[in-house]
Amino acid sequence: MLKVLRKKGVSKTILWIIAIIIILSFGVFGTAYRVDNMTNSAGTMYGHNVNGKDFQDAYSDARDQAIRIYGDEYFKNGNRIDLEQETWDRLILLKEAQKRNIQVTDQEVVADIAAIAYFQRNGQFDQTLYEEIVQNPSIFDRPTHDFEEGMRKQLVIKKLLDTVAPELVLNDADLKKEYQKRNEKITLQYVLFSASDYGKNAAATDAEIKAFYDIHKEQFRLPPTIALNYVQTKDKALADTLSKELTPTSSFTAVAKTLKLDVKTSEAFTQDQPILTFASNPDYVGKFFQMKTGEYSPPLEAPDGWQIVQLKERKESAIPALSEIKEKVKDAVLLEKGFGLAKPVADKALKALTESLKTKDFKTAATGLGLKVEETPAFGRKDYVASTGLIQEFQQEADELNAKKKLSEVISTTQGPAIIYLEKMEKPDDGQFESDKANFRQMLSAENRNQILINFMNELRAKAGVKSKIKHQKENKSS
């Protein structure tokens, strides 16, 4: 039944609200929860008490939304959704809608539910099917009246959001201009005044090195590292058995040995640069760093099977003594001096290039000044540039360059001052724009609404000042 929900799709209204507005919070080792009905107070919001029953109702509505969005995937991975935060967000939005006297009629609720594909047979709403799905203990498990009131509140939230962020309307001329800007490819020529090269001609005294270290100690801070004990197996049942037999006081090696499994130990690694064995899922790595020494993970799916890990040891973030990193600090001093030496040279070169470009192309002018000219591959002004380095740093500066202004000012990069020149622009053809126009218009509107609503939600959260005191109990639903 839940697979039917997923395959038949969901209400675009609901999906838009969930995906754009109420940002889901994820964990990895959590468990799906229902809020304890016995809780008298769920917490405070806007300085006022929130009744536990009211919170439970909103929590159930939030859970209904998640099921409508994800179908059977909710019951497989629902433990990754922070429904408690979702619930507080719903309550905050409903409070704001109440202030604005936003209401939804019974007819609107009926129409919205009737339009949901998985409540239909042969394209028509089916009351029997609707009741079967909503009341099914393995799906929504709610009285239809409660489900409908949840849908009413969702429509109230939608009306609120539509009021705050109406559709962005762009005429075709402005739309085309933005499309061309986002989709044109540009090629840059540039001259880099390498700070490291200029720094080689400088010197650093012991006093300068110590002074730099004292001022910039945080620059040399080492990140936290952890080392893990772990077992890897292709047998999910075996991993589950091992997980059940492990206790906080048991020996990982001894328990694993009874199941003919070997415990391996990783080298120490940082969260930003995990060992390849664990790097396939950044969420897992983040949770490893939150574990306590000796703590075990549940069985975790890996590219080549299943893993159970134990935190063996942790080294907290620390700043090494100067004696341990003196050469590294010296290099930093020389690099800083290199930036200072390179900047006036770049300023002087910019003046000369500006004059030479009146009669010469950039490469000829720069080469004539004894400068080395490099060229980027073609890239989009708004494209995500996966590779780190100068292209990524040039991207923002290149936004200011066009057919009338091809030469940049001296710009700062992590490698030193640079001057860039717009060598080539390749605009998308009109046929491609016409083909993409409808989707592009929708995307721009969504981007605009998204940013407005994220800011709106952040402001409401700050004003609400939620203080939660929720008690939980595990939810045992399964599909």
What are the structure tokens assigned to 398, written together? 């290149």
**Residue 127 forms beta bridges with which residues?**
none
Regarding predicted confidence, which is higher, 27 or 161? 161
Instruction: Name the band, by pLDDT with cuts 50, 70 and 90, for residue 136.
Output: very high
Which pLDDT band, with edges at 50, 70 and 90, does 7 fall under? Answer: very low
The DSSP annotation for 377-400 comes to PPEESSS---S-SHHHHHHHHHTT
- Please state, as a whole number, how many other Cβ atoms lie within 10 Å of the Cβ of residue 205: 10
d(CA 105, CA 215): 64
State pLDDT tens for residues 254-265.
999 999 999 999
pLDDT of residue 9: 39
Cβ atoms < 10 Å from Cβ of 461? 15
- Would you call 458 helix, strand, or coil by DSSP? helix
Tokens 């109420």 map to which residue? Answer: 22
What whole-number distance in Å separates Cα of residue 417 and Cα of residue 434?
41
Q: Which helix (H) or strand (E) holds 182?
A: helix 172-183
pLDDT tens digits, 412-428: 999 999 999 999 998 88
Angle at 417 (CA atoms; ends 413, 422), nearest 5 degrees:
85
Find, among 448, 406, 452, 443, the residue nearest to 179 by Cα: 443
206-251 pLDDT, tens digit each = 999 999 999 999 999 999 999 999 999 999 999 999 999 999 899 9
What is d(CA 325, CA 40) in angstroms, rounded to the nearest whole number? 57
Over residues 306-344, the pLDDT tens digits come to 999 999 999 999 999 999 999 999 999 999 999 999 999
For the stretch 164-169, contacts whose Cβ atoms lie closer than 8 Å and that sit 24 or more positions apart, written own/partner, are 164/452, 164/453, 164/456, 165/448, 165/449, 165/452, 165/453, 165/456, 167/445, 167/449, 168/444, 168/445, 168/448, 168/449
